[in-house]
Amino acid sequence: MNSSFQNIINSDKPVLIDFFATWCGPCKMLAPILKEVKDSLGEKISIIKIDVDKNQDLASMQQVRGVPTMILYQNGKQLWRQSGVLSKEELINVILEKIN
């Protein structure tokens, strides 16, 4: 898992990783927001969802303490990270600010 994760975050295309859990209420609220963000930004970004219960080693390696936690990577570097739910507008603004 770790090598494929490294490949994903080393992309020159920005990647937003959503660490989530199926039992997490806020994660369920975030899912449609992420879909709208992807619809708005299209090919500018990849959005990948990672279930922390199925990927505990990866979650602890990334120091994910709560869900949802979103981390934005580009070229293997962490550009931004936040726990909790943001609105579509907030998320788009932060992504565009960090990747440009």
**Is 24 assigned a catalytic role?**
yes
Catalytic residue among 9, 16, 17, 27: 27
Q: Determine contact, residues 48/9, Cβ cutoff 8 Å.
A: no
**Continuous segment of H or E residues that includes residue 37:** helix 25-41
Q: Determine contact, residues 19/63, Cβ cutoff 8 Å.
A: no
Catalytic residue among 24, 79, 86, 96: 24
**Is 27 assigned a catalytic role?**
yes
Strands 77-83 and 69-74: antiparallel
Residues identified as active-site: 24, 27
